[in-house]
Amino acid sequence: MRSGGQAHKLTFRNQEDRGERRDGEPDLGRGAAARFDTKRELVVKEANAIGTAWLRLDLLPDSAQQQLRPEFRNYVDERIAVYRSIPDLAAARLHIDRAAAMQNRIWSQAVAACRGAGSPATTSLVISSFNDMIDITTTRTVALQTHPPAIIFMLLFGVALASSLLAGYGNAAKPRSWIHILGFAAVLAITAYIILDLEYPRIGVIRLDAVDQLLAQLRQTMN
């Protein structure tokens, strides 16, 4: 189904998005890695969907193509700007809204062009590709907003503190070893940081910038 306009504001959570095993056992690290992979795959899917829709413009009359191709270029620019704006959420939301408005214009123009073409085959191919291009934006927005509940992050830091307390208590009677103390603290800190970095791949060291280049490369082919 078409999901332009305000559809990008929908949110959902399922078992895998919460980072849970199928038997219900929480696994924050595994879940963060799975969500990172999902976000990466969705960039590829969006690039493929836009690329397919762009190519299928060739099926429409020349007059319709002249209207739609500039809209497509501007639309891709806005989609790229959405994720380049993060962590500025206000700017990202502005670009999301602009892209949604462009979706509506592109959809309306495409429907009108298909009616004028008078070919059911053309209509099916063009409309299905445009629908996929619009739907994937909702999926990406939801994936960006899907994270474990705050209590899970509190539990992560609570476990780290409890582990430090128990380790310190168990070694209280032994000679102090700074190597073990610093090593233990470093392992806990690095583990927690990597989990959080995977969970928010737009603002940390582990990022999606490389795969984001797919949209930028696609945009260059539209010139």
26-49 pLDDT per residue, tens: 455 677 888 888 888 999 999 999
Has residue 221 got a pLDDT over 50? yes
User: Tens digit of pLDDT for each residue in 153-184?
Assistant: 888 888 888 888 887 777 777 777 788 888 88
Over range 99-120, report the average pLDDT: 92
Percent of the chain with pLDDT over 70: 87
Distance between terminal CA atoms of the chain?
30
Per-residue confidence at 64, pLDDT binned at 50, 70, 90? very high
Amino acid at 214: L
Residue 86 has pLDDT above 90, yes or no: no
Q: Which two tokens stand for residue 63?
A: 């007059």
CA angle 220–103–146, rounded 5-degree value:
90
Residues 29 and 54 in one domain: yes
For the chain, how many structural domains are there in total? 2
pLDDT at 178: 80
The Cβ of residue 137 has, within 10 Å, a number of other Cβ atoms equal to 24
147 contact partners, CB below 8 Å, separation of at least 6: 35, 199, 200
- How far apart, in whole angstroms, are the C-alpha atoms of residue 134 and residue 189? 40
Q: 3-state DSSP call for residue 206?
A: coil
Could you tell me if 104 and 153 lie in one domain?
no
pLDDT at 29: 62
Q: Against a cut of 0.75, is the pTM above it? A: no
Are both 128 and 159 inside the same structural domain? no
User: Residue 97 pLDDT > 50, yes or no?
Assistant: yes
Residue 174 and residue 50: Cα distance in Å, rounded?
63
Residue 222 — very low, low, confident or very high, per pLDDT cuts 50/70/90? very high
Residue 22 host element (H or E): none
Note down the domain range covering 14.
5-147+207-221
Average pLDDT, integer, range 101-110:
94
Please check whether residues 158 and 48 belong to one and the same domain.
no
- Higher-scoring residue by pLDDT: 58, 179: 58
> What's the whole-number mean pLDDT along residues 180-206?
86
User: Could you tell me if 104 and 142 lie in one domain?
Assistant: yes
Same domain for 35 and 120: yes
